Amino acid sequence: MLWQVNLGGDQCLFEMDPVTKLVTGNKICGRPTTWEGDSQRALAYDYATDTYYVGGTNGTVIYHIDSAGNPLETTDVGLSITGLAFNPTTRHPFVASLGANPWDIWVLEPDAGYTFLGGFRVTAGGVPVIDNDGIGLEADCAGRLWVNTLNTNTVYSFESGEAGWCVNDIPWL
């Protein structure tokens, strides 16, 4: 199943069946005084712990929540969040953010207070391609990150520099 933020709606996470291409009716909601109060736009799933990371552009907070919507931790990372990906092996969140310098994609270390480890400027032919037009972010099993520019509707792929993105890379799972 796939999960997505109900952007522009109730800000809950809703489940979609990729086979039928239908919304199942299952959803995860927070309370208005927690993560649901911000305009959430980004979601990443940590299948090693069955938890989610949620963030948005109206705030600069990453909410780490359980599968019932309860906040496990709330951290202000100082970035307007337009996309999230999470490596369950390294435990690093990758955060897409518009207008932040020097990176478009930031790599964080949650075990050290979400400190910045580094990042990426998305380019094509050496020219930056993210121009404050909103982006989504995802990772594949080979360790590539995928970003989608919303205004130009262009998808770019580049190496994350990390392995361990898929379930087979977590020995105990």
Domains of the chain: 2-121 (2.130.10.10)
pTM score: 0.88
Write the pLDDT tens digit of every residue in 51-68: 999 988 878 899 999 998
The pLDDT assigned to 56 comes to: 84
Q: Are 163 and 169 spatial neighbours (Cβ–Cβ below 8 Å)?
A: yes
The pLDDT assigned to 41 comes to: 82
- Which residues, 6+ apart, have CB-to-CB distance to 118 below 8 Å? 103, 106, 107
The pLDDT assigned to 75 comes to: 92
Q: Examine the pLDDT at 173 and tell me if it is beyond 60.
A: no
